[in-house]
Amino acid sequence: MKFVTLDVKTANSDPSSICEIGIGIFENEILVATHIEYIDPETWFDPFYTEKIHGISEDWLKYWFSIDISYDDIRELLINNIVAHHSQTVYQGFLKALDKYDLEPFPVFWLDTEKVACITWQNFSEEGCSLKELATFLGIEIGYPDAVSCSVAIGKIVIEACKKSGIGVPELLSRVKIATT
């Protein structure tokens, strides 16, 4: 079964200010490819987000393109797939970034690993958890701060949740009941 993972990093607290996109492609529980896009969000940079949290310099990103230039490549990787992400912020920010450039959303089956954690592991049933907290609980290493490392960790979380539940990714998606876009 194929599924894709997505993580984004932002230039500031606005979820649509995406400056890095990391994608992982998994087939039969194996990571088969990764993809990274550095994006000029064409907005102000908060050094706390870009440099301290994500390790990305504003000067460095000005040499990259806005998301509308990368749209076709990203769309090709995500369209009609189950796309795992961690937290609604990633999902909503991605859609807001598309809207910012009048780009059409495309069919994707969103699978939020924060919600997966709530239905799979009792430790997280009452409230959400950070990606780092969940990965640590499962013994999954994250090579912070880049989006690809986080997207790979998200994929490993999905695999662990399927193993624990004894179900496949489509059934996990059904249990979490995330709507398609």
Go through the domains of the chain in sequence order and give each one's CATH number.
Answer: 2-176 (3.30.420.10)
114: exposed, middle or buried (Cβ count in 10 Å: 0-12, 13-18, 19+) = buried
Which pLDDT score, from 0 to 100, does residue 177 have? 74
Q: In the 8-state DSSP scheme, what is residue 142?
A: -
Residue 52's pLDDT is what? 63
Residue 159 CA, distance from chain mean position: 15
Ranges in the chain, pLDDT < 70: 49-55, 57-62, 144, 178-181
At residue 136, the pLDDT reads 94
Looking at residue 51, its pLDDT comes to 66
Q: What is the pLDDT of residue 54?
A: 63
Q: With H, G, I as helix, E, B as strand and everything else as coil, classify residue 17.
A: coil
